[in-house]
Amino acid sequence: MPSQYKKYREELEKIIEKSGIVINGGESWDPQIKNLGTYKRILSQGPLGLGESYVDGWWDVKRLDEFFYGLLTANLEINSESSFFNFLNLLKYKVTNPQSLRKAFNIGKKHYNLGNDLFYYMLDNRMIYSCGYWKDANNLNEAQELKLELSCKKLNLEEGMKVLDIGCGFGGFLKYAAENYRINGIGITVSEEQKKLADKLCKGLPIEIRLQDYRTINGKFDRIVSIGMFEHVGLKNYRTYMKKIHELLEDEGLFLLQTIGKNKPGPINAWINRYIFPDAHIPTINEISKSFEGLFVMEDWHNFGTDYDKTLIAWNENFQDNWGKLEKNYDERFKRVWEYYLLSSAGAFRAREFQLWQIVLSKGGVPEGYKSIR
């Protein structure tokens, strides 16, 4: 090995030493280096270089999820403080507001409009693109069905209630609630493709799907739910978001928020930001609680983050099993991008780097107390 590559390899080996990961080792979590430029690329560009070099085929590993689990449980961050890419990511997080109303539909165009065929073959029968609830589940379909039922029970849904779903995806929650609890629903999404399919899936039910940003909604609702959308609101808009929920919710109403959470503040991973969820932000407990302080009573806060590990693994299995049906519309590079996204995320949830929270809020407190449901 030429001396310039040896220097970078030794530096990287020193960083990951306590993780148990061995470069070109024999375990399923050990990375196999195919391009010697990988070492410098990772050291100079941090998470962005790590992800891009994988997608470019510069390195490979049998179990991406276990590779990331090892890195994260050892409290390692392959990051470069001087990296220009990471600097830009931090600057955007601290200074700009990339989730403003003017830019609200960007995430729909860049991620959720990738193709309904992709999500059809990856997700469960109801096409729920958020964490399932695996407490009594044996497979993904059961986990998502149980999550929908859990959410409905937490909201204390009753027949005839008017329910708003902010970030309704393919309409799965509203469809389930209408069929099982006879509610009337309005769902909003910033994805044209999601709306097209949601309209078909919810046809014949008292549900209206709108292409709309949450800041432009008017009216009053008995219940409001937002499952897997808060990650796109943006830190600078949290208070605006909660004030809007307060305005829309009836005085005796309940609001259920499901969101990914993290343990410490900071911008999203630079690779995820560039290739998967542009301008997303994962909140901390403090960031969420500050956003609704003085507006709502926190009735319940439920963490089932380890269930997202199982959900992501199931999604990846579906994605891999159905690749033959998808490859006519997506190339091999996309395949590596997508599996890196799913499996690196699974490793992060397994390592408890990320959490999954369901939070129930009321305006003035539920009389005689809220009964938590698990």
For every one of its 374 residues, what pLDDT tens digit does the chain have, with 9 covering 90 and above? 677 789 999 999 999 988 999 999 999 999 999 999 999 999 999 999 999 999 999 999 999 999 999 999 987 655 544 455 455 555 555 556 666 666 667 787 889 989 999 999 999 999 999 999 999 999 999 999 999 999 999 999 999 999 999 999 999 999 999 999 999 999 999 999 999 999 999 999 999 999 999 999 999 999 999 999 999 999 999 999 999 999 999 999 999 999 999 999 999 999 999 999 999 999 999 999 999 999 999 999 999 999 999 999 999 999 999 999 999 999 999 999 999 999 999 999 999 999 999 999 999 999 999 999 99
pTM of the full structure: 0.93
Number of domains present in the structure of the chain = 2
Q: Which residues of 358-373 are buried (b: 16+ CB within 10 A; e: fewer)?
A: bbbbbbeebeeebeeb
| Domain contains 95 | no
At a CB cut-off of 8 Å and minimum separation 6, what does 275 contact?
Answer: 51, 55, 337, 341
User: Are residue 147 and residue 281 in the same domain, yes or no?
Assistant: yes
Domain co-membership, 194 together with 285? yes
273 and 331 share a domain? yes
Q: Which structure tokens are listed for 44?
A: 């100079």
Question: Do residues 31 and 175 both lie within one domain?
Answer: no
In a domain, 90, yes or no: no
Whether 322 and 182 map to the same domain: the answer is yes
Domain that holds residue 21: 3-82
Q: Which amino acid is at 2?
A: P
Shared domain for 61 and 121, answered yes or no, is: no
3-class SS of residue 249 = strand
Tokens of 158: 């009753």
Output the CA–CA distances (angstroms, integers) from residue 357 to 99, 138, 321, 333, in the order listed: 21, 21, 30, 32
Determine the Cα angle at 199 with ends 213 and 316, to 5°. 85
284 and 189 within one domain: yes
CA-only gyration radius of the chain, Å: 21
State how far Cα 244 lies from the chain centre.
22
HSE at residue 256, side-chain half, CA atoms within 13 A, is: 27
Whether 68 and 104 map to the same domain: the answer is no
